[in-house]
Amino acid sequence: MTANNLQISNENGLGLQSTNKLLITLEGPMPENRVAKFLDAFAVVLDHSDYRSLLDAYCGAATRCAQCATSCHVYMASGDPRDIPCHRAHIILQIYQRYFTMKGWLSMRFGGGFTLTEEILDELAELVWRCNACRRCTMECPLGIDYGLLTRLGRYVFSLIGISPKALQVSVREQLEGETGNTSKIPPAAMINTLEFLAEELEELLGLKLEFPVDQPNREYVFFCAVSDYLLEPDTLMGNAAVVYAAGDWDRWTIGTGNFDGINYGLFYSDWHLDRIVNRVLEEADRLNSKTLLIGECGHASRAAHDFVPVFGGKSTRPVINFMEYTLARMKEGKIKLDPDIITERVTYHDPCNISRSGWVVDQPREILNSFVKNFVEMTPSGRLNYCCGGGGGLVSCDETHEFRMEVAGRAKADQIRATGAEIVITPCANCKKQVKEIVEYYKLPCEVMGLHDLILKAIIIPGAKSPRERKEIADEYM
Amino acid sequence: MEYALEFARGPLFIMAFGFMVLGLIRVVGVQLWFLLTRSKRSLSNAPWRTMMRDMFTWIVPASHAARSPSVPFIVFSFAFHTGMIIVAFFFADHTALWKSGTGIKLPSLGYGLADALTAITLISLVYLFASRIIRSSMRATSDVSDYLILLLIGACFVTGYFANHPNVNPLPWNVMMLMHILCGNLILVLIPVTKLAHAVLYPFTRLSPVHWQFRPGAGEEVARTLYGNEAKV
């Protein structure tokens, strides 16, 4: 199977057709008078932000050649022409052109053109949440039109009039205005309890007595993961800790109790939230006087920090690295040794769109995996061209989208995984892990889903600790 | 007829050309103004190397076509654009116009080569036109203007070919030439006001990483404008 002939098993429109029904659950009722409200909000966004020139360029240039359709995993599965990226974009561009440009004003004067109706607006509201904003289509667009950015702009304006997913909205409210200050509502004391639990687990596994550094000032690294990892992904966190310990950096990192959540849903739908959440992360780094933000295995958290700390950070701006970059750098220094005889299963790697599409984190995980996994196989396509898992753009956090994520958005990924014949799917992203685990269950794929550091934890050689072989034998006994 | 022909290739051409130039100055000017008024930081943050690489690999899409799900589209689209641009700028009769109009002397393309490029352009155009009808995704995203613009470009090439080949030309030479010049003038006028503007907007549509550098504090201003100072999430 190559990129040229990947057959999505539902290509001819047998899947869940869009039904002109909002996929997401709103917090309140659908607002009345929404055409006027939407246009008002759009006008305010245009006045205060820099979207005009982008929209001007796209309005002037978009040729609607539908090349984007050749790579959209949603359209390939649904077969619904309304899912074609340039169709969705065209609605946004038409609204902009008609109501906010001279050309639109002129065409209106001469009695022609486009009028925004409630039906069109409702269709757009539906379509922007049927898109994972993964930007795979941009890679095929001859003009490089960033449909993910347009989807996001549409979502942003909708969010300003009360049309946004309740699940994301409630999480962000807790993160920015709630008591716990994080999306999973984990009080700092509970997070510390989790760290103690992880330390006990690590002691049992490795035979090492460790205490996680909490609120330590003046450390090189301050660690932020998707906060849900504290509840759902203990092995990833233990893998992270094992790497830091093995690298001799145990006294160089810390976790802050003021803010330990890397999640930034603002990336998916709101400039306001994005900006504020980035600055909350930086406030904690300032408080602890840490030099570098070390972001755990999470695609969108990594991108939100890496791409937007320089944008919104002001004087607090500081370097941001993804944990896989950290691990590879320590490996290259010879500080991390991985036993090449432990992982015998066939392993594949799913690239989270948020870190791979720009080419930022593509080679690093492969270099790590190839150093200790004998049977590594790529998905097709992979790297910058990889398909989204179907949970991207915040959809995976909205339970009401489950059927859509399985039947439509996740179908390409299921086919890709099946074609590799892998027994282990590695994906270093909290959102992708949840979605891919659900896909594996839904399509009954014979494989296990885990993070890269979960796998590293199995194979890491730490002097003075139990060897990977010993650990494997113990684990096998429990099986 | 002679008067109409002289008018079409004289004042009308100058007006059409002038309209195009002014229109394109506006279109490009807006984009340049945006770039010049961006904060230095947002420009230096953008991954220029990746953007430039993507720009050039798409102009000569050899590397891209190899892995594309739609190789024929890329091949024909490339052939269509290349043929059209070369003939428009470098065909001997056109370079003579350039010379008389602007004083700029461009290298000239002989009749044989121009015929070959015309054939390539027209074949590619037929493919693109047919694709918009046959392929369901392209049909779904096309409207009348997408077909008309292709027909107009096709008409320009066909009339130009006939005007230069009297032995196959079904109409009097001056009628055919008038049609050719009118089609050409119409294309010039349409360039800045239709999707043909991608001819000059191409580099700017690839600047989305710059556009991802949102203005700091803008989100806050939007929220306060809409909901007042007590704006809550």
Asked if B141 and A358 come within 8 Å (Cβ–Cβ), the reply is: no
pLDDT given at position B12 = 94
Asked if A53 and B30 come within 8 Å (Cβ–Cβ), the reply is: yes
Average pLDDT score over residue span A393-406: 97
Which residue in the set B67, B70, B206 is minimally distant from A144, CB to CB? B206
How confident is residue A375, by pLDDT bands cut at 50, 70 and 90? very high
At A294-329, the pLDDT tens digits run 999 999 999 999 999 999 999 999 999 999 999 999
Interface test with A, best of B44, B205, B226 (most A CBs within 10 A): B205
H-assigned helices in A381-429: 402-404, 411-420
Which residue in the set B205, B212, B221 is minimally distant from A145, CB to CB? B205
Query: Chain A partners of B58 at a C-beta cutoff of 8 Å?
Result: 142, 144
Instruction: State how far the Cα of A146 lies from the Cα of A139, in Å rounded to an integer.
Output: 9
User: Which among A477, A479, A476, A463 has a CA at the least distance from the CA of A206?
Assistant: A463
Query: Chain A partners of B207 at a C-beta cutoff of 8 Å?
Result: 57
At A114-154, the pLDDT tens digits run 899 999 999 999 999 999 999 999 999 999 999 999 999 99
Q: Does B140 touch chain A (CB under 8 A)?
A: yes
- Supply A303's token pair: 């991108």
The full DSSP string for B138-189 is HHHH--HHHHHHHHHHHHHHHHHHHHH-TTT-SS-HHHHHHHHHHHHHHHHH
Which residue in the set A144, A160, A169 is minimally distant from B205, CB to CB? A144
Asked if A57 and B137 come within 8 Å (Cβ–Cβ), the reply is: no
Q: Is residue A210 classed as helix, strand or coil in its secondary structure?
A: coil
Query: Chain A partners of B146 at a C-beta cutoff of 8 Å?
Result: 63-64
Average pLDDT score over residue span B95-111: 87
pLDDT given at position A264 = 98
Instruction: State how far the Cα of A142 lies from the Cα of B55, in Å rounded to an integer.
Output: 9
Query: Chain B partners of A47 at a C-beta cutoff of 8 Å?
Result: 225
Q: What is the interface size between A and B, counted as CB pairs within 8 Å? A: 183
At A348-372, the pLDDT tens digits run 999 999 999 999 999 999 999 999 9
pLDDT given at position B102 = 79
At B6-38, the pLDDT tens digits run 999 889 999 999 999 999 999 999 999 999 988
Peptide bond between residue A381 and the one before it cis (omega within 30 degrees of 0)? yes
Rounded to the nearest 5°, which phi and psi values hold at A255?
-120, 135
Is the pLDDT assigned to residue A169 strictly greater than 50? yes
At B129-185, the pLDDT tens digits run 999 999 999 999 999 999 999 999 999 999 999 999 999 999 999 999 999 999 999
Contact A355, A318 (CB under 8 A): no
Average pLDDT score over residue span A166-178: 97
Closest-CA distance of chain B to residue A135, Å: 11
- Supply A109's token pair: 């004067």
pLDDT given at position A20 = 58
Mention every residue, 6+ apart, whose C-beta is less than 8 A from residue A302.
A262, A295, A320, A322, A354, A355, A361
pLDDT given at position A431 = 97
Instruction: State how far the Cα of A379 lies from the Cα of A382, in Å rounded to an integer.
Output: 6
pLDDT given at position A6 = 39
Q: Does B115 touch chain A (CB under 8 A)?
A: no
pLDDT given at position B61 = 75
Asked if A48 and B77 come within 8 Å (Cβ–Cβ), the reply is: no
At B60-95, the pLDDT tens digits run 877 777 777 788 999 999 999 999 999 999 999 999
Query: Chain A partners of B223 at a C-beta cutoff of 8 Å?
Result: 160, 272
Average pLDDT score over residue span A251-266: 97
Asked if B27 and A60 come within 8 Å (Cβ–Cβ), the reply is: yes
Instruction: State how far the Cα of A45 lies from the Cα of A413, in Å rounded to an integer.
Output: 35
Query: Chain B partners of A142 at a C-beta cutoff of 8 Å?
Result: 58, 77
Average per-residue pLDDT for chain A: 94
Which residue in the set B58, B135, B215 is minimally distant from A49, CB to CB? B215
Closest-CA distance of chain B to residue A456, Å: 31
Is the pLDDT assigned to residue A413 strictly greater than 80? yes
How confident is residue A106, by pLDDT bands cut at 50, 70 and 90? confident
Tokens 């245009």 belong to A46
Q: What is the ipTM of this complex?
A: 0.94
Asked if B205 and A385 come within 8 Å (Cβ–Cβ), the reply is: no
Angle, helix A52-61 to helix B13-37, in steps of 10 degrees:
150
How confident is residue A5, by pLDDT bands cut at 50, 70 and 90? very low
How confident is residue A19, by pLDDT bands cut at 50, 70 and 90? low
A207 exposure class (CB count in 10 Å sphere: 0-12, 13-18, 19+):
middle
